[in-house]
Amino acid sequence: MEMKSKTLLILYATQTGNALDVAERIAREAERRACTVVIRSTDDYDANSLPAEDTVIFVVSTTGQGDTPDSMKARLTLFFVFKYPIFVPSILEVSSAKKSWQPLVGRNSLCSVWIRRFRFVAKKLDKRLSDLGATAVVERGLGDDQHPSGYEAALDTWLSSLWSRLNEIKPHFFPKGPDFLVSNEELIGLPKVQVTYHNVDDMDSRLSTATDFKYLQMQIGRARSMSSGKVPHEKSKPDAFLKMVKNFPLTRASHEKDVRHFEFEFVSQVIKYEIGDVLEVLPSQSPAAVDSFIQRCNLDPESLITVHPTEMENRHIDNNVNTLDVMSFFATAEHEKERLQYFASPEGRDDLYQYNQKERRTVLEVLEDFPSVQMPFEWFVQLVPPLKNRAFSISSSPLAHPTQVHLTVDVVSWTTPFKRKRQGLCSTWLASLDPEQSIYIPVWFHKGLLPPPPPSLPLIVIGPGTGCAPFRGFVEERAVQSQSSTIAPTLLFFGCRNENNDFLYRDFWLSHSENDGVLSEAKGGGFYAAFSRDQPQKVYVQHKMQEQSERIWNLLCEGAAIYVAGSSTKMPSDVMVAFEEIISKESGAPRESAVRWLRSLEKAGKYHVEAWS
């Protein structure tokens, strides 16, 4: 008789941490039912072990325009990915006959822009996985991060179905019965980290000088490897350290947006990168926020500490306890305890979303809202999430700047529903840095969604706002290449609100549009700018594309590739529609044929989109 595993495996693929948050929530609720759980990132799991598992829950996020998370790209033949929405969990069990896998793949489209790609991928995966013999225990859940209550709204209902169905067909997961729930006090147990306080004089002198970059890489890598697996092992250590050498605004001081140009020099080692690559930056916290946190936690600001897992063989801190449950356990004021317990319950989910996610409250702000909560510092360390890297499209060419990296960054600020002013952590921190100071910034390099084109490939490029960032690097690269070889034409469409306020890199574009530059008509290229607010009727990049309909069609007929970058709201879909109309108009073919033609471009790797919210 085959032994049934009592361990429930949860595999997640995340880009920014959403899927991990969902996976941890599922694990918490499973542990409350006395179920043994293991969580693994897809890139930290040997896919050959899948047939030996009894039951697996997949939690998969998307990035960009429905693209695969980096941690899952190498697993596409064994795992499955949906194009939308934020998470798609599906629970599977192994067929004892075939020892293989099949999720229940849905075909409902959630995004009109990518409806064809979504259906194509779903059908392809459905056929592939249905042949492998696994059985779906419960229908997949679809979460939408844009829902008024976030993806938690769908997750609550899905989890209820999950536990009910598992209790029916997999009772061995629940040794104490379907109605048993471990108390929060028992589940919380002891913190899984140990904090050691040190005498300042005994610490390594390198901590004070902070110029031994290999040592700093090791320290950052150790700290990140102790997080809840948000960072793949091989990328725990930063690739390099950079020093800012230029920081200047690209927009007028009176303009509502503050967009900046940053230039960095390599100070540890020079990393080879390509145009279209992405730079991840690990920011620092505001000194004022750090001081407030130290005061709130009753810490000695002059002391130095080290943090270790209590079980040294376990590299990762398993964070399967709910922060609000732990806070309620340590709350001494009854009304605060009750409010925290309400927020942690399914009934309080909507109110928690309004209080926390919509307002983007920091850990410090939550702690200040509940002053009676006095946790041991070990619990603070375990529960406070690690700082996430922020990703930016690189806006320079390594051919033009072999020892530098440039970024184009919108300094993020917004007003919450409760009229509180908020600022983006990383962008605000970068904007505050003085190039005269020696501040070393840990960074990671990644391949983006815009592959570097060969100089012989004609390009049609659309980059409104900060979407122009990667294409600045493209133009720089082609300018260098043109000195020794012939380059293909480049059409570039840029858009902003006002010509006088936020025309990013104006002189750069115009200089390359003249004197046989990359964007000059003499080279078969062109630069076209749309200023949406400079006239009564708004003008966007798609309108400028329509004006150049014939030129676009001619380049497409010559084999041009299309590159689109910028906001993920309406812009990518509007640009796609503009291409459909141009192809239909210039070719005389029906719109449906134009749509198919664009799909063939996508399939051939000649239509690339990098979009962000």
472-483: pLDDT as tens digits? 999 999 999 999
The reply to whether 32 and 68 lie within a common domain is: yes
pTM: predicted TM-score of the whole model, two decimal places: 0.81
Which CATH number goes with the domain that contains 286?
Answer: 1.20.990.10
The reply to whether 297 and 342 lie within a common domain is: yes
* Residue 435 domain flag: no
The reply to whether 369 and 464 lie within a common domain is: no
The reply to whether 169 and 20 lie within a common domain is: yes
The reply to whether 210 and 349 lie within a common domain is: yes
* Residue 430 domain flag: no
The whole-number average pLDDT for the span 403-424 is 93
Is 128 a residue whose pLDDT tops 80? no
The reply to whether 173 and 243 lie within a common domain is: no
**Domain span including residue 375:** 193-383
Which CATH number goes with the domain that contains 472?
Answer: 3.40.50.80
Highest mean pLDDT out of 2-6, 177-181, 485-489: 485-489
* Residue 177 domain flag: yes
CB-count exposure of residue 568 (10 Å: 0-12, 13-18, 19+)? middle
* Residue 577 domain flag: yes
What pLDDT, on the 0 to 100 scale, is given for residue 466?
96
| Residue 432, C-beta contacts closer than 8 angstroms, at least 6 positions apart | none
The reply to whether 212 and 237 lie within a common domain is: yes
The reply to whether 113 and 249 lie within a common domain is: no
* Residue 358 domain flag: yes
Domain count, the chain: 3
Distance between CA atoms of 87 and 89, rounded to whole angstroms?
Answer: 6
The whole-number average pLDDT for the span 515-543 is 95
Distance between CA atoms of 544 and 529, rounded to whole angstroms?
Answer: 7
Q: Given 383, 410, 436, which residue is the final one in a domain?
A: 383
The reply to whether 213 and 355 lie within a common domain is: yes
**Contact predicate 524/518, CB 8 Å:** no
* Residue 396 domain flag: no
3-class DSSP string for 261-295: EEEEEECCCCCCCCCCCEEEECCCCCHHHHHHHHH
- Give the three-class secondary structure for 82: coil
544-596: pLDDT as tens digits? 999 999 999 999 999 999 999 998 888 999 999 999 999 999 999 999 999 99
Distance between CA atoms of 42 and 233, rounded to whole angstroms?
Answer: 12
- Give the three-class secondary structure for 36: strand
451-478: pLDDT as tens digits? 999 999 999 999 999 999 999 999 999 9
- Give the three-class secondary structure for 104: coil
Higher pLDDT, 220 or 226: 220
248-302: pLDDT as tens digits? 999 998 888 899 999 999 998 899 999 999 999 999 988 888 899 999 988 888 8
**Contact predicate 216/306, CB 8 Å:** no
* Residue 433 domain flag: no
How much is the mean pLDDT over the chain?
81
Higher pLDDT, 613 or 576: 576
